[in-house]
Amino acid sequence: MKNIKNISLFVGMFLLLFASCEPIEDRDFLANSFHPDDIELRVVQTTPGGNNLSLQMVTPGVAGYWDYIIDRKHSDRVDVVFPIPGTNTFTFHVTTAYMPDGSPANVQYISRSIDVQIDVLDHELPEAYYYLVGQDLEGKTWVFDGTGEDNRLWWYMSSPGNWAEVWWNAGGECCPPSDVDGRMVFDLDAGANFTYYAGPDADPVTGSTWAFNANFDRLTISGDANILGSEEGGGNNQRFHIIELTDDRMVLYVPNAAWDTGWTWVFKPE
C-alpha cells in the first residue's frame, strides 16, 4: 500500500511539472483589447461648417492622444479653433501598443480617424497665425533680414543659453549661408504648408509642414525642407524657439545647434 501511495504521489508530481512546462498558447489577453471600429469619435462644430471644434473620443476605457494636424494632445477631448479650411482628417491613437507576436520590434498601434468639413473660418485664430501666414491667411513669404557682410545681426552663432549673446556674427561679418538669397513660404492652403527656395531662381522644395505648439513659443518644421540657413548653422534642427513673431519680424533660436552652441535666425517678410 505504501508503494502504491508513493507511485501515486510521483505520478501527481510528474503531471504537475509537465503541466507547468506546457508552452503558452495564444490567450485572449495577448490579443488587442480594441479594434478601430470599437473606438467612437465625435466632432462638434459650434456653427455649421465653422472652425471652432470639439474633438471627442467617447469610448469608455480607452486612453490615447489626438493628432489634430496642428498639434497633438494626450486627452480624450480637444477644443480648438482650427485654422485650415476644407476637409481635414483628425486621428485618435490608442497609447497601449499591441505586439501580435510578443516582440517589441513588431508593434501595431490602433487608431481611428474622422473627417471634418470646414467651410468658413468664422472664429478668430490666435494672432501668431496671422503674423506668420498673413493677416488674411493668404500665405506669406519670409527672407533673411540682411545680406552678406553687412555687419548686421541676422544669422549668427549664439550662446546655448541666451539667443541674444553673440558668439560669432557669421552672416553679417564673413560667411553667409549658401541660401542667403532664398525664401520660404508659409500657407494654409488645404494644410499647414512650408515651401523652401534655396535662391531666387531655385525650384521649390515642397511637401513639408509647419506647426505651432500649444503655447505658440515653438515652431516645428516637418518634412524634407527646413528654414533658410539651417543646414549650415543649426545642425538641421527642425524645432525652433520663437523669440519674436510680429507682422514684420520673426526671430528663431535653437540652444543645441551644431558645435554645441546656440544659433539665431532673424527674418522679415519679402
Question: What are 4's three cell numbers?
Answer: 502504491
The identity of residue 57, as a single letter, is M
pLDDT digits (tens, 9 = 90+) for 46-79: 999 999 999 999 999 888 999 998 888 999 999 9
Distance (Å, rounded) from C-alpha 254 to C-alpha 230? 10
If 0-12 CB within 10 Å is exposed, 13-18 middle and 19+ buried, where does residue 90 land?
buried
| Confidence at residue 13, expressed as pLDDT on a 0 to 100 scale | 45
Per DSSP, helices labelled H in 123-264 are 127-133, 170-173, 230-233
What CA dihedral angle connects 132, 136, 141 and 147, to 10 degrees?
A: -70
Question: What are 242's three cell numbers?
Answer: 520663437
| Confidence at residue 32, expressed as pLDDT on a 0 to 100 scale | 53
DSSP H or E segment with residue 158: strand 155-159
The count of C-alpha atoms lying within 13 angstroms of the C-alpha of 14, restricted to the half-sphere facing its C-beta, is 6
Residues in the chain with pLDDT < 50?
Answer: 2-5, 7, 9-31
**Class at the top of the CATH hierarchy for domain 26-118:** mainly beta
| Confidence at residue 25, expressed as pLDDT on a 0 to 100 scale | 37
Distance (Å, rounded) from C-alpha 65 to C-alpha 55? 11
List all residues 6 or more positions away from 172 whose beta carbon is below 8 Å from its beta carbon: 146, 149, 150, 151, 152, 153, 154, 155, 156
CATH topology of domain 127-269: Lipocalin (2.40.128)
| Radius of gyration of the chain, Cα coordinates, nearest whole angstrom | 28
Confirm whether 26-118 and 127-269 share one CATH topology: no
Which pTM value belongs to this model? Answer: 0.79
For the chain, give every domain's residue range: 26-118, 127-269
Question: What are 27's three cell numbers?
Answer: 490567450
Distance (Å, rounded) from C-alpha 270 to C-alpha 266? 13
| Confidence at residue 236, expressed as pLDDT on a 0 to 100 scale | 63
Task: Tell me which DSSP letter residue 170 carries.
Answer: H
Collapsed DSSP state (helix, strand, coil) of residue 22: coil
DSSP H or E segment with residue 175: none
